[in-house]
């Protein structure tokens, strides 16, 4: 899961950028699932706590963040003392059955080798009529790059994700995953795209740091630098489009 040895503070910056992409969707899903009135809420794969600490700020319930990465949990605790951050594996959640009103994840399932086990565990620990939320899982199979000179970057990134053990096509599997564990009232969708201006310098920096790390063994430094400059130019001239379909799913444990 962690091919690069960044300190948690750098992952945190990346996760903040990613959280920006799903902000309006989260708001809608939090309302749909009545999240702010839930008593016990857990995020699996909570990383540096970006999503669950936001929920902690907005709800009266007790929040839990579970991540397999102990260092990330130490970092999360330093920023958010209200949430209980636990080191554990989403495939064997250390909680009794039916102990949460809402369980959720955000950019997690792509990284686990057996997402069906994680969803099964989320269902087990969620109470009857409680909600399970998968807020964001990409599907690189539907990636659109423009101008066409950037197709190669897209293809290499997909290969790199496979090499890292990830499933870059997880998005399309969400509906089947939710159905397979018997959830009801399932709603699945894809985040839409909108291009009103270039990304901020911080977003571009974060994106390129990820691309450079993903492609370090696939392209020379010079080739990467050429792509980076070409992309900056494409954003400047207004031609650049990058769309990676990002799926979400919500479902309820039957009564």
Ligand X SMILES: C[S@@+](CC[C@H](N)C(=O)[O-])C[C@H]1O[C@@H](n2cnc3c(N)ncnc32)[C@H](O)[C@@H]1O
Which residues of the chain form contacts with ligand X (CB under 6 A)? 1, 15, 18-19, 44-47, 50-51, 66-69, 72, 89-91, 106-108, 111-112
Residue 129 beta carbon to ligand X: minimum distance, rounded to whole angstroms: 24
Cα gap 111→114, rounded to integer Å: 9
Residue 165 beta carbon to ligand X: minimum distance, rounded to whole angstroms: 10
Residue 98 beta carbon to ligand X: minimum distance, rounded to whole angstroms: 20
138 SS3 class: strand
Please give the residue whose beta carbon sits closest to ligand X in the complex: 47
Residue 206 beta carbon to ligand X: minimum distance, rounded to whole angstroms: 13
Looking up tokens 């985040």 gives 191
Helix (H) or strand (E) holding 134: strand 126-138
Cα gap 169→76, rounded to integer Å: 29
Nearer to ligand X, 171 or 240 (CB): 171
Nearer to ligand X, 19 or 153 (CB): 19
- The alpha carbon of residue 135 and the mean position of all alpha carbons in its chain are separated, in whole angstroms, by 7
Cα gap 114→29, rounded to integer Å: 25
Spell out the long-range contacts of 78-85 with Cβ–Cβ below 8 A and sequence spacing 24 or more: 79/48, 79/49, 79/53, 80/49, 80/52, 80/53, 80/56, 82/53, 82/56, 83/49, 83/52, 83/53, 83/56, 85/46, 85/49
Nearer to ligand X, 78 or 239 (CB): 78
Residue 247 beta carbon to ligand X: minimum distance, rounded to whole angstroms: 14
Residue 49 beta carbon to ligand X: minimum distance, rounded to whole angstroms: 8
13 SS3 class: helix
Nearer to ligand X, 47 or 130 (CB): 47
Nearer to ligand X, 62 or 117 (CB): 117
Nearer to ligand X, 69 or 231 (CB): 69
């Amino acid at each position: 899961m962690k091919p690069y040895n960044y300190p948690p503070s750098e992952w945190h910056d990346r996760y903040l950028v990613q959280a920006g992409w799903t902000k309006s969707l989260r708001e809608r899903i939090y309302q749909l699932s009545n999240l702010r009135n839930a008593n016990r809420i857990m995020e699996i794969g909570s990383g540096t706590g970006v999503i669950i600490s936001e929920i902690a700020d907005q709800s009266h319930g007790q929040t839990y963040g579970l991540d397999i990465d102990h260092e990330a949990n130490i970092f999360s605790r330093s920023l958010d003392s209200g949430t209980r951050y636990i080191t554990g594996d989403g495939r064997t959640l250390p909680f009794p059955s039916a102990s949460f009103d809402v369980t959720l994840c955000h950019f997690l399932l792509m990284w686990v080798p057996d997402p069906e086990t994680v969803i099964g565990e989320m269902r087990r620990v969620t109470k009857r009529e409680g909600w399970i939320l998968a807020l964001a899982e990409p599907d690189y199979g539907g990636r659109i790059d423009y101008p066409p000179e950037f197709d190669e970057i897209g293809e290499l990134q997909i290969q790199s994700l496979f090499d890292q053990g990830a499933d870059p096509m997880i998005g399309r599997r969400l509906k089947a995953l939710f159905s397979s564990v018997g959830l009801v009232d399932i709603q699945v969708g894809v985040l839409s795209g909108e291009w009103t201006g270039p990304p901020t310098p911080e977003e571009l920096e974060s994106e390129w740091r990820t691309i450079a790390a993903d492609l370090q063994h696939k392209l020379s430094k010079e080739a990467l630098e050429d792509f980076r400059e070409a992309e900056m130019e494409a954003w400047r001239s207004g031609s650049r489009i990058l769309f990676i379909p990002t799926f979400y799913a919500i479902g309820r444990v039957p009564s």
